[in-house]
Structure 1
Amino acid sequence: MVPIDDSEITRAPDWVRCEHCAALIYGKRFRRALRVCPDCGWPARLTAHQRLDHLLDPASASPIPQVEALHDPLDFADTRPYADRLADARATTGLREAVVCVQGRIEDRPVVVATMDFQFLGGSLGCGVGALITEAAHTSLRHRIPLLLITASGGARMQEGVLSLMQMAKTVQALAELDEAGILTLSLVTDPTYGGVAASFATLADVILAEPGARLGFAGPRVIEQTTGKRLPDDFQTAEFLLEHGMVDDVVPRSALRATLGRLLALGSAEPPSPANTGPGPPSGTLHHPEELPERDPWETVRLARHPGRPTILDYADHLLDDFHELHGDRLAGDCSAIVGGPGLRCGRPVMLIGHHKGGPGLAERQRHHFGMATPAGYRKAARLMRMAAKLRLPVVTLIDTPGANPGPESEQSGQAVAIAENLRLMSRLPVPIVAVLIGEGGSGGALALAVADRVLVSANGMYSVISPEGCAAILWKEPEAAPTAAAALRLDARELLRLGIVDGVIPEPPGGAHSDHTAAAALIGAALDATLDELVPWDSPRLLRERRSRFHHFGVDTDLPLGTGIGTGRGAP
């Protein structure tokens, strides 16, 4: 957005031209819309104080004391002395430096905010900015409240030489201290964010949000094109491009930022997790003994587990969680749509929900989600969210529904086996409670990659197998028609899984199956989760790790413990 005349912006009426679509906008309407073009949705740049006025609760901001940094350490001059440029920037913006740091509240949640101002020497990172970002992080650490970083920068401040480069390491160290202390960090990327800021604190937060169209990168597109001689895509380095390529968690319109940040800040300001039920609650209904379940045709189990109308993870998130916010990307290369995850509140308790997503009704939708078969980017996204849960001490709930890992050549080239193995190792040592629920298909290593848990439950019509019945029939019987026979031999239904100790409990489904009544199915799973989390949350990390290790250690080992005890002895079937 560029005003027709900067001097007229302070007067009313005035007119503003959108730099994105060239529309003329009446000034008062423009300001009411938070300086967003009502025609195309393009957000204009905000000053640091405009940003704080928009996001913070009224009268909640208190400045963080200014930290004195070196002034013109190199006695630098180009066409003008740096000292003169600095003085002009201060006079023009009314700011001491290119960042403003305050302590305040968003949606009544405490937060420390450091917001950059591009009008101050292009938001460049110098000694003053580095000192203030570090002081904001230390304030967050002292008060144990979340830190929000709002970035807008052209890169490191050249006039301060290599000292400006050192601010990258300095600010990263400050964020690392918050990681070690388990304090939530959020980043809001605004246009533009480049260079040293992009390669340090802007991209290290637990959650990275971006405004629509915001550009983020280390080198600018013009430099890249000149260096490589290649034409870049028109949307290269934009927020939408970054979301597609797994670098940011979400692109959020300016009008929705306050509410979105408020929900996320609840994760960092909530009390330590405690049992959701303060008194005796309704029984979970979970079945723990094989004899409580009827014998059934295993092929009918396969048919029901694959029913296209069964609730998806997003259906369950809608029914089970308040303020669920889906996060995206593995922060490496992609965002797999077959894995969905994000934080939310279950009966007031923050949890991290992660699971497979087969997609909604219709072939095209299921193809878009790879039929729930995750790529390496999906498992790496899950791992990132689990590490975030461990940092914030959030229980992890996984919902499993997949035929298996994605079998495509691209997945193999991207390290499918390594991604699954890394998840198995990570979950084995994650210091927070993990509850896994097989809500449909549990196929092979693709399912196990989300199922190394303290408690593994299965829906009554769910299944869990080393291979699909069709695959087993083709390999061992040499004919796909033998799939029902293979299903029976694989003992993949809920009753057999409980008898073998693979699962700890079976969650009933509504009459006819989960597909017949999503609300009732979610209520049954919710009750089972509440009871299980109430059991596990009070355990300390050493106990969780000890018992999780013991649970999986016993699989396949002949012991004196009977089958069907729900503790995962894993002895073979007679």
Structure 2
Amino acid sequence: MTGAEESVTYGQALIGDIDVMLIEFDFRFLGGSVGTATGGRLVHALSTARAHAIPVVSLLATGGSRMQEGMFALLQLQRVARECHLNQESGIPHVTVLRNPTTGGVWASLGASADVILATGGAQVAFGGRRVRSAEDADHPAFTATGQFAAGQVDEVVTPESLPDALSTWLELLTGGAPEPADVPKALGNADLPANGWEAVSRARDPRRPRAAAYLDAYFDTYRLISGDRAGGVDPGVLCGIGWRGGRSIAFAAQAGTATRAAGYRTVSRLITMADRLGIPVLTLIDTPGAANNPTEEAAGLAAAISSVFTAIAATQIPVTTLVIGEGGSGGALAMAGAGRTWITPDAYFSVIAPELAAAILKRDQNEATDLADQLHLRPQDLLNLGIVDGIA
């Protein structure tokens, strides 16, 4: 006996300095399942958060819908999903914590729609619970918190000890936006401009050049990363998250110098869309030789993923500030650029195509790539003179 009246309790609480609507599932009460009364509680909690314009924190531990109540219980998922959608449209942040176990329709309707998803290490996280999976898949690592993190469905795996700090930090970051554009970061590499196009390309490709992680560390007082595209993919070459700088939140999407995968673009799109809803300005750092060019990424929907970033930036109402810090390789780089707010560092370039690829298309010897680099007008000063960038950092 738990002494509780239902599997869910809720109420307003302080986490750090942020007033939130706290929703907690108790797995000891009928497996944390959702029946009609539970659905009513969830709807009331979510709508109250919207009425008071406060974030939602949900602590999940559930087996899903209450089978004793049949379809009446299952229909509660529609009610919960609708409230989550209305909260998103109203700019209400939602952080969920997946505890052991989190399965069934509650994970699909309440948990998976959250802005930031945390999961406790060792937790079972899956749509189908262990007893309804095949024997050979019962204990597959895909159905765990770490498996979901690896697949891009979870942003952080936390311990019980680290959870309070993670929650309070994320709540500050999600509620700390201001309408002013992000400041342009200072250049961390060379201060002098390249003499010719090939020097610009060579400097951008220099492995000793400061990369995205160095810029994020120098720019932010603190920051946290989101992980994955919520569609089964993670691109380690793209760093997305929200940081704290000068007393306010700034979201960021940063390429780390590798060819960007479809999952990376989808994660960027997810980040920008979330930041737009929450009124958080965005900083993008461009550094990629281009979009990943291989059969795996084509099959993963590379063009559609790139399109989603173009669309997210075009549709956003918040300012997007861009700094090209290394290679700016064609459309795979341009997708991340904020129109009318793009700067470049002295050791970077931006081009419609890489010089070597231009030589291949023109059926020229690869030795001619150095001359083509000049003809492409890809140096920072060329781009500034052409009006492509707003300035050189």
| Percent identical residues | 38
Choose the corresponding residue for 1:266, options 146, 159, 172: 172
Unaligned runs of 5+ in 1: 1-91, 278-282, 287-292, 359-371, 508-574
Moved over 2 A (4+): 220-224, 230-234, 267-277, 283-286
**Residue 462 (str. 1) matches residue 371 (str. 2):** no
Deviations 1:201-220 (A, max 9, x none): 11111111100021222212
**Residue 311 (str. 1) matches residue 197 (str. 2):** no
- How far apart, in 1, do the equivalents of 2:263 and 2:219 lie? 26
- How far apart, in 1, do the equivalents of 2:179 and 2:4 lie? 41
- How far apart, in 2, do the equivalents of 1:257 and 1:274 lie? 31
Counterpart in the other structure of 1:137: 46
- How far apart, in 2, do the equivalents of 1:154 and 1:458 lie? 51
Residues 138 and 174 in structure 1, CA contact (< 8 A), matched pair in contact too: yes
- How far apart, in 2, do the equivalents of 1:142 and 1:105 lie? 17
After TM superposition, give the deviation of residue 111 of structure 1 in Å.
1.2
Deviations 1:266-320 (A, max 9, x none): 134436445899xxxxx9999xxxxxx8671211111111111222222111111
Task: Tell me the TM-score normalized by structure 1.
Answer: 0.65
SS in 1 for 2:28: coil
After TM superposition, give the deviation of residue 469 of structure 1 in Å.
1.1
- How far apart, in 2, do the equivalents of 1:503 and 1:214 lie? 47
- How far apart, in 2, do the equivalents of 1:400 and 1:285 lie? 14
Choose the corresponding residue for 2:236, options 330, 337, 342: 337
SS in 2 for 1:378: helix
In structure 2, relative to structure 1, the CA distance for the partners of 1:493 and 1:232 (3 Å cut) is: farther
- How far apart, in 2, do the equivalents of 1:173 and 1:106 lie? 26
- Structure with the higher strand share, 1 or 2: 2
**Residue 450 (str. 1) matches residue 340 (str. 2):** no
What is the 5 A alignment of 1:248-259? 248-259=154-165
Please, which moves more after superposition, 114-123 or 329-338?
329-338
What is the 5 A alignment of 1:347-496? 347-358=246-257, 372-496=258-382
Quick one: which amino acid aligns to residue 246 of structure 1?
A: G
Choose the corresponding residue for 1:204, options 110, 113, 120: 113
In structure 2, relative to structure 1, the CA distance for the partners of 1:271 and 1:305 (3 Å cut) is: closer
SS in 1 for 2:274: helix
After TM superposition, give the deviation of residue 482 of structure 1 in Å.
1.3
**Residue 102 (str. 1) matches residue 11 (str. 2):** yes
**Residue 234 (str. 1) matches residue 120 (str. 2):** no
Query: How many residue pairs align between the two structures?
Result: 390
After TM superposition, give the deviation of residue 356 of structure 1 in Å.
0.6
- How far apart, in 1, do the equivalents of 2:260 and 2:181 lie? 32
In structure 2, relative to structure 1, the CA distance for the partners of 1:297 and 1:421 (3 Å cut) is: same
In structure 2, relative to structure 1, the CA distance for the partners of 1:317 and 1:172 (3 Å cut) is: same
Residues 157 and 164 in structure 1, CA contact (< 8 A), matched pair in contact too: yes
Deviations 1:458-501 (A, max 9, x none): 00121001111111122225211111111111110001111111
Residues 181 and 320 in structure 2, CA contact (< 8 A), matched pair in contact too: no
Give the number of the structure with larger relative contact order, counting CA–CA contacts within 8 Å between residues 6 or more apart.
2
SS in 1 for 2:153: coil
TM-align CA RMSD: 2.1
Please, which moves more after superposition, 214-223 or 334-343?
214-223
After TM superposition, give the deviation of residue 233 of structure 1 in Å.
6.6
- How far apart, in 2, do the equivalents of 1:440 and 1:246 lie? 26
- How far apart, in 2, do the equivalents of 1:420 and 1:233 lie? 36
- How far apart, in 1, do the equivalents of 2:185 and 2:157 lie? 38
Residues 274 and 349 in structure 1, CA contact (< 8 A), matched pair in contact too: no
Rg comparison, structure with higher value: 1
After TM superposition, give the deviation of residue 231 of structure 1 in Å.
4.5
Unaligned runs of 5+ in 2: none
After TM superposition, give the deviation of residue 334 of structure 1 in Å.
0.8
- How far apart, in 2, do the equivalents of 1:404 and 1:211 lie? 36
